[in-house]
A and B are shown apart, each in its own frame.
Chain A
Amino acid sequence: MATRHKPIEYHGKNIEFPYENPAEEVIDDEYLHEHLAKPTTERTKRLKARCRWKHCAAGEFVDNSVRAGMERMRYWTEGHKASDGNKDVIKRAICLQTFLEKCTVILQEDEKIIGYHAEEPTMVPLYPELSFLATQDYIQNSRYAPQPVEEAKEINEYWKKHSLLSKCMPYFEPYELERMYRWASMEAPAFATGFNSIVPPYETVAEDGLLKRIELAQEQINKAKAELAAPHWNAPERLPLLEKIDLWSAMIMADKAVISWARRHARLCRIVAESFETDPARREELLEMAEISQRIPAEPCQGLWDCMQMKWYVYLMCHAIERYASGFAHKEDKLCWPYYKASVIDKTFQPMTHKDAVELFECERLKCSEHGAGKSRVNREIFPGSNDLFILTIGGLNRDGSDGCNDCTDAILEAARNIRTTEPSIVFRWNPKGRLKTKRLVFECIRDGMGFPSIKNDALNAHQMLYYARFSQNNNGATPEEAHDWANVLCMSPGLVGRRKTQKTRSEGGGSIFPAKILEITLNDGYDWSYSDTQLGPHTGDPRTFDTFEKLWEAFRVQYEYTVSISIRAKDVSRYWEARMLQLPFVSSIDDGCMELGRDACDLSEQPNGWHNPITTVVAANSLVAIKKLIYDEKKYTMDQMLDALYANWEGYEEMRRDFVNAPKWGNDDEYADAIIKKFYEDIIAGEMRKITNYSGGPVMPVGQAVGLYMEVGSRTGPTPDGRYGGEACDDGGISPYMGTDKKGPTAVLKSVSKVDSTTQKANLLNQRLSVPIMRSKHGFKIWLAYMNTWYDLNIDHVQFNCVSNAELLAAQREPEKHQDLIVRVSGFSARFVDISKYGQDTIIARNEQDFGAEDFDFINVSAEELV
C-alpha cells in the first residue's frame, strides 16, 4: 500500500492528503515508479525496450556490450594525412568530408528519426585529434578498446604531434599540468580531456537549409575576390580576406559533405523500403523518411518531422562528428513551434495529430538515450547513471514579452512524462506569465520523479544576457529582444540561442574548481596530503600562525584566485589553438555571424558568456563557519587541535567532531552561518572570479553546481572541518545545503538561499527533495505551485526536485533488476538510479526529504480554504 501523508492541522482546519489518483493508494511505495511509464505508442514502447543505453558510471560503460568504434578516428586521420599542405581550416573540412563520405550509415527498425555517429549502434567514436591521453585510456582497456587495437595505437601515436593537447602543453610548466590533471582542486583543461560543449544555431538550418548557406558563402567569396581585385591595392585592409576566403571555402565543403551524408541515409531508406521491407505501412514510412533525408538539411524545414530529423543531423554534426561536445542546448519549443503549427494545427505539411507529435518527441528522447559519447574517463565518471549531458530548454517568454509556452511545449513535456528516460533533461524557464496548463505538466514530470524539468528564473537570466552583452567586442551582444532567447548551455548556465551569438566552445564557459579541496590545502600551506601527495597551490602559510579568522579567509582567497586564474588561462590557451587548428567549418557555416564576418566559430564571440563552476562550495563554507565559531569566536579549540583531528580523520576526536558537526550549517535560515556564507559566495566565489577577463573580453562568473563531481571530489578530499570524514561525498550542488543538514524545512532553505544576491552569480544549483505523499496528494499541485511562486518572488536562480521515497530507493539497492525505471536527480542531470554506484546512491538517500508543515504553508501563502 502507498503511504498517505498524515493530516495537518492548519488555521483550525484538519487537512487530509488523499491521493489525487485513488488507484495509486494500492501501489506499494517500493514500486511506485515502475508503474508510471506509459509510452504513447507501441512503436516507442518497442524502441524503449530495445534501446542500447550508454549509461556510464565509475568511468565505465554500464552495459558490457558498448565498444569504441574505429571509423571516426580512422577516416579523420586519413583525411588529415591526405590534406597535408593545406591551410588548417581546409584540412578540417577535408577530415570531415572524408569521414562523411566513408562512414557507415545506420537505419534501425521502428525509427522515425535516423542517424548515428559510429559504425554500430553499440559503439562510440573517438577523437584523438583532441586528446591522445583520452584515446589512450580506451586503447588500454581490453573491454572496449577500438579494434584492431594496433591500428588504434598507430593512429593515436600520429596525433601526439598534431592534437590540441600537444599544441597547448608547451605553454605550461610540468608542475602546472600535474596540478590541473589531478581533478583534486580543479578540473583538468579541456585540451587534456577533450570535453566540450556547444549551442548549435539550429535555426539557420531550419529556416534556410544548407544549400542556401552554401550560396551565402559563395557570395561572400565572390565579394571578397572582387575586393581583392579592386583598384588601389591596400594590403592591411585586404590581406585578411585570404583567411576569410579559406573559411568560406571550408564551409562550402563541409555543407556539401553533410548534404551528401544525409542523402546516403535517404538512399538507404529507399533501398530498404523497395527491396527488404515487408510491412506496407513501414514501407510507406521509409519512403517518406527517404524523401525527408533527400530534402533535409539541404532545404528549409516545412513540417515537424522535417524539423526533428534536421535537429538530429545537426546535433550529430555539432556534438559528435565535427567535434565531440556534450549538451543538447536549444529552446526546443520555440525552435519547433512553426513546424508543430504547420503539421499539427494548420496541417499544411506532414499533417499529424498532437499525439503523433508526442510520439516524435519520444522518438527523439530515445535517440538521445541510445547516443554514445566517446568521452574521456573522467567524463564517464562524473555523470553517473546517464550517457551524456543532454539538456534542452522550454518555457519563458518570447522576444515580444508574451508567454513562450505553447502546445509544442506541452508535447515535449508529455513525451518526457510518458516515456520516462533520463535523457534529455529539461530546463523550464519559470515566468509568472507562463500558462497554468503547461506548469501543471511540469509538475507532473517532477511529481513522477523524473528530477526534471529543473527550473530557472526567467527574468533573472534574461537580464544576465544583457549584462554580458555589454562586453561584446564587436558591440553586437544580445539586444533586449534577443535576451529572451536563452537556453541552458549545459546543466545550469544560460547562453543565447538563435541564428548567431551562441556559445561554440567550452573554453568560453565551463570547467570547474573545487573549494572543499582548496580549503583543505589552505589548511596545509597549499599541500595535498590526502590524495595526490603534491603541492597543489601556492604557499599561503601555516594556519596555526593565523591569529585572526580574516587571515585564514585571505589565505583561502589566494588559493582560490590561483586555481581560478590557471583554469581560465588553460581555457584561453585552448581557445587560441581551437581557433587556429580546430576550426569548425560546419558550425561556422550555420552561424550568421561567422558567415557575415568570415570568422571561425571557435574564434568569434559576439556575446561573451564566461563562466566556471565552483563545485563543493558548501563543504568549504560550512567548514569556515565551524572554524570561525569554534576556534576564533568561542576559542573552544585551537587550530592545532583541529588539524590533529583532521589528520586522524576524526578518529579519537569524536566529541570534538560532534561540535564541528553541530556548528551552524547552511540552509537553516541561521543568521550566523548565513552571514558568513553570503559573504563567501559574493566576496570570494564570485568576487575573485569576476576579476578575470577571458578570451571574449567579458568577466567570468561562477556557476555553482555539482554534476557527479561532488562524489569524485569527495573521494579525493580528506576530512574537513564541517565534520565530514575523509572520502565522503561533498555537497551535491551549487547553493544546496549539505545532505541531511537542512533541518528546518523547505522554506528555511529558501530563506537562506535568497540571502545571496543572485545577480552576483551566473547560476547556482538548488537541489530539493519533496515528500512523495504530499506531491501525489490532491493538494500536491497547489502546494508546489505556491512554493514555486514564492521561490520566484525571492529572486532565486534555480531549483530542482527529487520526488522519490527512501523506501523505493532502498528497495532498488536490494533488487536493482526490478527498478529499471527509477530515475533520480543527481545534480544538473537525472540518472537511472540502479546505474549509479552504491556510494552515489547513498548520497541521494541521505538528502533530507522536505516535508511541509503549517508554517511552510503560511510562508508560501497557501490558504487553508484551498486545501480543504
Chain B
Amino acid sequence: MSEVVSKAKELAEKRKVGMRVESGTTKPCLKCRWGTEDPTDPSKGQCIGYRTGMGGIWKRMVHDYYNTTCDKFEEGEVDFRDHV
C-alpha cells in the first residue's frame, strides 16, 4: 500500500467521527433523519449530517445502512430543503 493510500485511509477513518456498526441496533442510520439511502443500493446509505464550517453538506457513505449508528442519531426524516 502506498504512503498516500495509507494516509487517505487514515483520513477516511477520521471522517467517520463516531459512526460504528452495531449489529441489530435500534438506532440505525436507516431511521435517522440525517440518513438517506445510497443512490443505487438501499442496503447502504449516505449521512448528510456533517456540515462544513461554511454550512455546506459534505456527505459520508454508510456501508451498512441497517446496522450503523452514531451518537448523533435523531429519529425522523429530513426535510428536502435541508438536503442536497
Write the residues of chain A forming the contact surface with B, with a CB cutoff of 8 angstroms: 57-60, 62, 133, 136-137, 140, 143, 181-183, 188, 192-193, 376-378, 381, 523-533, 535, 539, 541-544, 643, 647, 649, 651, 711-712, 714-716, 718, 725-729, 835, 837-840
Q: Verify B57–A527 contact, CB threshold 8 A.
A: no
Q: Does B18 contact A (CB under 8 A)?
A: no
Q: Does B61 contact A (CB under 8 A)?
A: yes
Q: A183-B40, A188-B40, A529-B15 are in contact. List 5 more A-B contacts (CB 8 A).
A: A183-B39, A193-B40, A715-B56, A715-B58, A839-B83
Q: Verify A529–B40 contact, CB threshold 8 A.
A: no
| Distance in angstroms between the alpha carbons of A837 and B82 in the assembled complex | 6
Write the residues of chain B forming the contact surface with A, with a CB cutoff of 8 angstroms: 2-5, 7-9, 11-13, 15-16, 30, 36-42, 44, 46, 48, 50, 52-54, 56-61, 63, 77-78, 80-84
Q: Verify B54–A647 contact, CB threshold 8 A.
A: no
Most interface-central of B3, B44, B59, B80 (chain A CB within 10 A): B80
CB distance from B2 to the nearest CB of A (A): 5
Please pick, from B40, B60, B83, the residue contacting A837 in the complex, using a CB distance under 8 A: B83
| Distance in angstroms between the alpha carbons of A523 and B46 in the assembled complex | 24
CB distance from A627 to the nearest CB of B (A): 15
CB distance from B51 to the nearest CB of A (A): 8
Please pick, from A137, A140, A837, the residue contacting B80 in the complex, using a CB distance under 8 A: A837
Report if A57-B9 is in contact (Cβ < 8 Å); known contacts: A377-B42, A727-B52: no
Report if A136-B42 is in contact (Cβ < 8 Å); known contacts: A539-B2, A838-B81: yes
| Distance in angstroms between the alpha carbons of A103 and B38 in the assembled complex | 32
A-B residue pairs in contact (CB < 8 Å), sample of 19: A58-B80, A140-B37, A181-B44, A182-B61, A183-B39, A192-B41, A377-B39, A378-B39, A524-B5, A524-B7, A529-B11, A532-B61, A533-B12, A535-B5, A544-B4, A725-B54, A725-B56, A837-B83, A839-B57
Q: Verify B80–A727 contact, CB threshold 8 A.
A: no
| Distance in angstroms between the alpha carbons of A647 and B8 in the assembled complex | 9
CB distance from A466 to the nearest CB of B (A): 37
B54: which A residues are within 8 A, CB to CB?
725, 728
CB distance from B36 to the nearest CB of A (A): 6
| Distance in angstroms between the alpha carbons of A718 and B80 in the assembled complex | 22
Q: Verify B83–A192 contact, CB threshold 8 A.
A: no
CB distance from B15 to the nearest CB of A (A): 7
A523: which B residues are within 8 A, CB to CB?
4
Q: Summarize A's interface: helix, strand, loop or mixed.
A: loop
| Distance in angstroms between the alpha carbons of A513 and B46 in the assembled complex | 19
Please pick, from A58, A529, A543, the residue contacting B9 in the complex, using a CB distance under 8 A: A529
Q: Verify A377–B61 contact, CB threshold 8 A.
A: no
B63: which A residues are within 8 A, CB to CB?
533
Q: Verify A181–B57 contact, CB threshold 8 A.
A: no
B11: which A residues are within 8 A, CB to CB?
529-530, 647
A137: which B residues are within 8 A, CB to CB?
37, 42
Q: Verify A531–B61 contact, CB threshold 8 A.
A: yes
B30: which A residues are within 8 A, CB to CB?
140
| Distance in angstroms between the alpha carbons of A140 and B38 in the assembled complex | 13
Report if A524-B4 is in contact (Cβ < 8 Å); known contacts: A531-B59, A715-B57, A839-B57: yes
| Distance in angstroms between the alpha carbons of A539 and B4 in the assembled complex | 10
Q: Verify B82–A181 contact, CB threshold 8 A.
A: no
Q: Verify B61–A727 contact, CB threshold 8 A.
A: no
| Distance in angstroms between the alpha carbons of A695 and B40 in the assembled complex | 24
CB distance from B58 to the nearest CB of A (A): 3
B78: which A residues are within 8 A, CB to CB?
58
CB distance from B32 to the nearest CB of A (A): 14
Q: Verify B41–A133 contact, CB threshold 8 A.
A: yes
| Distance in angstroms between the alpha carbons of A837 and B36 in the assembled complex | 15
B48: which A residues are within 8 A, CB to CB?
715
Q: Verify B52–A726 contact, CB threshold 8 A.
A: yes
Report if A377-B84 is in contact (Cβ < 8 Å); known contacts: A525-B5, A647-B11: no
| Distance in angstroms between the alpha carbons of A378 and B15 in the assembled complex | 23
CB distance from B14 to the nearest CB of A (A): 9
A60: which B residues are within 8 A, CB to CB?
80
Q: Verify A647–B7 contact, CB threshold 8 A.
A: yes
A181: which B residues are within 8 A, CB to CB?
38-41, 44
A542: which B residues are within 8 A, CB to CB?
2-4
CB distance from B50 to the nearest CB of A (A): 8
Most interface-central of B13, B50, B58, B63 (chain A CB within 10 A): B58
Nearest B-chain residue to A718, judged by Cβ: B58
Q: Verify A651–B53 contact, CB threshold 8 A.
A: yes
Most interface-central of A523, A647, A649, A727 (chain B CB within 10 A): A727
A718: which B residues are within 8 A, CB to CB?
58
B12: which A residues are within 8 A, CB to CB?
527-530, 533
Q: Verify B3–A531 contact, CB threshold 8 A.
A: no
CB distance from B62 to the nearest CB of A (A): 10
Q: Verify A712–B84 contact, CB threshold 8 A.
A: yes
Q: Verify B37–A727 contact, CB threshold 8 A.
A: no
Q: Verify A133–B84 contact, CB threshold 8 A.
A: no
Q: Verify B8–A524 contact, CB threshold 8 A.
A: yes
Report if A62-B7 is in contact (Cβ < 8 Å); known contacts: A181-B40, A839-B57: no
CB distance from B77 to the nearest CB of A (A): 8
B84: which A residues are within 8 A, CB to CB?
58, 381, 711-712, 714-715, 837, 839-840
B82: which A residues are within 8 A, CB to CB?
837-838
A544: which B residues are within 8 A, CB to CB?
4
Q: Verify A527–B40 contact, CB threshold 8 A.
A: no
Q: Verify B37–A527 contact, CB threshold 8 A.
A: no
